[in-house]
Structure 1
Amino acid sequence: MRLPPALLVLLAGAVSALGFAPLQWWPLTLLAFALWLHCVHAAPSLKSALWRSWLFGVGHFTIGNNWIQHAFDFQDRMPPVLGYFAVVGLALYLAIYPMLAGGLAWRLGRKGEHPDAAFALVAGAAWILAEWLRAVVFTGYAWNPIGVIWLPVPGIAHLAAWIGTYALSGLTVLAAGALLLAAHRRWALPAGVAVAGVALAVSWPLLHTPDPTAPAGAPRVRVVQPNIGQDQVADPAYPATVFNRLLALSGRPGPAPRLVVWPEGTLHYFVEDGYPRYWYDADPALVRAEIASALGPRDAALVGGTAMMFDARGQATSGGNSVFAILPGGQLVGRYDKAHLVPYGEYLPMRTLLQPLGLSRLVMGDIDFAPGPGPQSITLPGFGPVGMQICYEIIFSGRIVDRAHRPRVLFNPSNDAWFGAWGPPQHLAQARMRAIEEGLPILRSTPTGISAIIDADGRLLATIPLGKAGAIELPLPPARAPTLFARAGNWIAAIVGLLLALVGVAIQRRTR
């Protein structure tokens, strides 16, 4: 029995999402994309190609983003069942971007009865454009670019250090197109793609320079995971419970300086002075002193908490999802405010319209967070500049580093306790891609997992799994020299996309 094309592409889209973590069945993603390309090429009209590509996107994003529903399980203002509608509703919007890619591939790359190399090349270029647009339009939602599926294949994944993840996604579509051409017994492109892929996978371990061994006395990093989830936030004892556990897991000073890092938003006491007195549950100086008590004379701590902003009358106007840098004497020496906030999560867009309808943001409280200025580095004595990216800020390729003050390491505190079993490993995978792109190690600290120390090649040096309390401590991994992508950013993706499109057009003209 032959399935209708609409149902076929919807199922193909769903299967294509299985290449992401936690399953990482990446060959299925390639096959599913090859099937999508087949259905697009076979579409009798542009309208049909757009419709089929949109359905493919609906299946792809519904399965890939299924973890979003879990965030609604911790709401008292909105029913958990609303989470299922949120997942599908988001997919209905995000599917516009595969629709754009499919439409461009059909209009600009389709020629003749059978797909050819020109069609595959144009499809790859169109996907780069569509994926980049998805990352920037309406503040952007860059979750799970398909280039991430290559993490289990190091040589291919490390192309991201040269061209970035979006361009790698375009080459992934090109590889799917090569599979489609192989099914039609057109062997030139499939042979070229196969040779290039094998060469990358084989040569990378031989050509890659391993990281140097950390010298004795080198700075160390300690990543803390308290394993206290969102289901316990309503407990009146929660602030003290999580604070005491964080302190206990922070360990004791050693001979080498340590950078101790805590997860996003787990510090429920204010650490800044100068707020109206009625905002404080504890003296901020005493809170800082308690944190400093876990530090040695050359240590430093980066802790995730909340900052408050007030108007001239002392009225709270907004909050900051923040990281605070604290030294052994209890000094507060820096603050980073999350810049890329989650709409409907950390602020409610169009609040005057949506709040009367019963909608609220997922993070508790009635005051919206305000965005910070963007990527910044905080210089800590003994550790140098440390870059900050809170939670899903880390997923935005090419937009995570202060270029004027390149950090030595990136700190990515997050709260993945909202996101079930699929969200945390997907988030970790994308952080690993940022490490590869930028040539920087990344520290991930989360309340319930997955916390990790990631080296500048994207390798996991140590992790704390989901649902386990603990801490991991290692010498601070070295940074690499800035990669090509770190220097040029997503201009590289634009160049790769343009080259794919030009070669595709040139092939078309030659065959005419």
Structure 2
Amino acid sequence: MSPTALADRVILAWGWPRRLIALLAGASGALALPPLDLWPLIVVPMTVAVWLIDGAVGTGWAPRLRAALAVGWWWGFGFFLAGLWWLGAAFLVEADKFAWAMPLGVVVLPAFLAVFPALAFGCARLLWPNGAGRILVLAVMLALSEWLRGHVLTGFPWNVYGMMLAGQGYIAQFASVVGLYGLTIVAIAIGAAPATLGSAESGAGRWRAPILALAVLGGLIGYGFWRVPTQPSPTVAGVKLRLMQPNLPQDAKFNPRNGEAILNHYLALSDRATSPTTLGVQDVTHLIWPESAFPFLLGRTPAALSQIAALLPPTTTLITGAARAGEALPGESRPPIFNSIQVVNDEGVIVSSYDKVHLVPFGEYLPAFLERLIRGVGLSEFVSVPGGFASGGRRSPLAIRGLPPAAALICYEVVFPGQAMPQGPRPGFMLNLTNDGWFGQTSGPYQHLAQARLRAIEEGLPLIRAANTGVSAVVDAYGRIIASLPLGTEGVLDASLPRSVAATPYAQYGDALFAVLVVGFLALSRVRRS
């Protein structure tokens, strides 16, 4: 079938066939995301999106708008349904409590998120020009809708469309200049460019946009080759890291009855020799355990701190996830509990902490405006903390003996572009402790790692990532994985700390350069109503 005939079928489709085309086209975009990373398939959802908007017709602006909003919702619903299906695994960890609510995560959340591309389709239709300019309009509106999705209601920038190109290390280097949202607007334009092959233009005109898109793609690859050195990244002298990945089942991890057994498992695994010439924890300067490591409050369990002190040599520091109790305010019945990173010295003393600032709605706390309704139907947050976690006050560098200042990031805090850096001087690396055990052997942990890698590229900082079930990894400032442990395995990972590079343009200017792209794309589109 020729591109023109294919475009006509999409444009002229109506009713349920049109909705099905939108649903399947959006869903195909998930194939370009981790773990498959079939990035050339970005052409399918973006090209079909152009033709779907072309087909949003009517006798006035209102019918056109309604048609575009509807088809945009179905397109977005397909994308989020296929890309976020793995969220259902979290509802099965405590199936007796949460299994009945699985549709809320697997269907209702994608249905809500689909509102953002629906708005993008609608706004694009109002400004829809003839010719190749409509590709730039679509890129602007979808990218702006993704920026909104990353900020509205605390934000959920998971699987932003630019992540379809982020799996390719050289293409992803452009994020060091414009960030994820800048990469997104370019990715959409590249993916949508073949839509002109199905247009009514004749001769060379229909090839102009695809050829330009290939040239831009080649430029991105060339920039990546220029930016990334061929030699390994230099490392920080005197630093020997050991990341411990316990691979504990999520249902066992938060059971207080398992506290002693879990700690003993951590201690034994951390001291494991990895070769005939290694001496376990005696060889390392910093031992790193994942998020929410214990089903008890470490700071209020002296016996656990004593056992840790007995393990650590005088030159070794432990960095671990742990729940931390704050001070109860007057009139409060219980102290606030924080999801924290704590630093423990060789004497078993907690010398510094970071409290998670950006909590997961419904996972770690219930939004205040919905809490009464949610608890009324028998639901609670997933974590086994009465009332949920409290939010930390501010993001500040974490001080760790023998290391540069760290940008501490717990779990999905690392997926927010432009928000990963603490206040104050630029840190020397990013430290991401997470527990993806909620999601089992699914796409979720791979998507999480890919987004964390992109933060390293954006900021020009190495990333140290310790995960309960994986994927634990050491990533350099160019997003290259230096060492890693596979998903679903138990083990320890020994590695050096890569050095940071000079602050990237994105680290200096943030999303300002994305805004420049938005204005430039709109200017180039020669926007006019059709």
TM-score (norm 1): 0.91
Q: Deviations over 1:165-203 (max 9, x none)?
A: 111111111112211113336122221221121233245
- Does the 8 A contact of 1:214 with 1:475 survive in 2? no
Percent of paired sites with the same residue: 33
SS in 2 for 1:315: coil
Q: State the match for 2:60 in structure 1.
A: none
| Structure 1 residue identity aligned to 2:296 | Y
- Does the 8 A contact of 1:50 with 1:102 survive in 2? yes
CA distance in 1, matches of 2:391, 2:144: 27
Q: Deviations over 1:201-240 (max 9, x none)?
A: 2453245335665469531221110011113246564212
Q: Does 1:29 align with 2:42?
A: yes
Q: State the match for 2:81 in structure 1.
A: 62
Q: 2:319 aligns with which of 294, 298, 302?
A: 302
Q: Deviations over 1:225-282 (max 9, x none)?
A: 0011113246564212221222223233456x6222111101233233xxxxxxx5x4
| Structure 2 residue identity aligned to 1:399 | Q
Q: Does 1:413 align with 2:413?
A: no
Q: 1:456 to 1:40 in 2, by over 3 A?
A: same
CA distance in 2, matches of 1:344, 1:452: 27
Q: State the match for 1:118 in structure 2.
A: 133
Q: 1:176 to 1:234 in 2, by over 3 A?
A: closer
Q: 1:487 to 1:203 in 2, by over 3 A?
A: closer
Gapped runs of 5+ residues in structure 1?
A: 273-279
Q: State the match for 2:445 in structure 1.
A: 424
Shift of 1:383: 0.7
User: More displaced, 240-249 or 465-474?
Assistant: 240-249
Q: Does 1:380 align with 2:406?
A: no
Q: State the match for 2:54 in structure 1.
A: 41
The alignment's C-alpha RMSD in Å is 2.2
Q: Does 1:266 align with 2:281?
A: no
Shift of 1:356: 1.8
SS in 1 for 2:157: coil
Residues 193-272 of structure 1 mapped to structure 2, 5 A cutoff: 193-202=213-222, 204-210=224-230, 214=234, 217-233=237-253, 237-251=257-271, 252-254=280-282, 258-272=285-299
CA distance in 2, matches of 1:87, 1:485: 34
Q: Deviations over 1:22-44 (max 9, x none)?
A: 12122223212211121012210
CA distance in 2, matches of 1:122, 1:358: 45
CA distance in 1, matches of 2:81, 2:43: 18
- Does the 8 A contact of 1:269 with 1:287 survive in 2? no
| Structure 1 residue identity aligned to 2:114 | A
Q: State the match for 2:305 in structure 1.
A: 288
Q: 1:308 to 1:211 in 2, by over 3 A?
A: farther
Shift of 1:77: 5.6
Q: Does 1:344 align with 2:388?
A: no
User: More displaced, 123-132 or 371-380?
Assistant: 371-380
Q: Does 1:472 align with 2:503?
A: no
User: More displaced, 454-463 or 370-379?
Assistant: 370-379
User: More displaced, 260-269 or 73-82?
Assistant: 73-82
Q: 1:486 to 1:207 in 2, by over 3 A?
A: closer
Shift of 1:351: 2.1
- Does the 8 A contact of 2:366 with 2:381 survive in 1? yes
Q: State the match for 1:463 in structure 2.
A: 484
Q: 1:332 aligns with which of 335, 350, 357?
A: 350
What is the aligned length? 494
Q: State the match for 1:157 in structure 2.
A: 172
User: More displaced, 197-206 or 84-93?
Assistant: 197-206
Q: 1:425 to 1:84 in 2, by over 3 A?
A: same
| Structure 1 residue identity aligned to 2:435 | N
Residues 10-29 of structure 1 mapped to structure 2, 5 A cutoff: 10-29=23-42
User: More displaced, 364-373 or 92-101?
Assistant: 364-373
Q: State the match for 1:404 in structure 2.
A: 424
Shift of 1:90: 0.5
Q: 1:437 to 1:216 in 2, by over 3 A?
A: closer
- Does the 8 A contact of 1:153 with 1:201 survive in 2? no
User: More displaced, 12-21 or 327-336?
Assistant: 327-336
User: More displaced, 161-170 or 492-501?
Assistant: 492-501
TM-score (norm 2): 0.88
SS in 2 for 1:239: helix
| Structure 2 residue identity aligned to 1:117 | A
Shift of 1:375: 2.5
Shift of 1:369: 0.8
Q: 1:220 to 1:337 in 2, by over 3 A?
A: same
CA distance in 1, matches of 2:254, 2:183: 43
User: More displaced, 153-162 or 194-203?
Assistant: 194-203
Q: Does 1:147 align with 2:162?
A: yes
Q: State the match for 1:275 in structure 2.
A: none
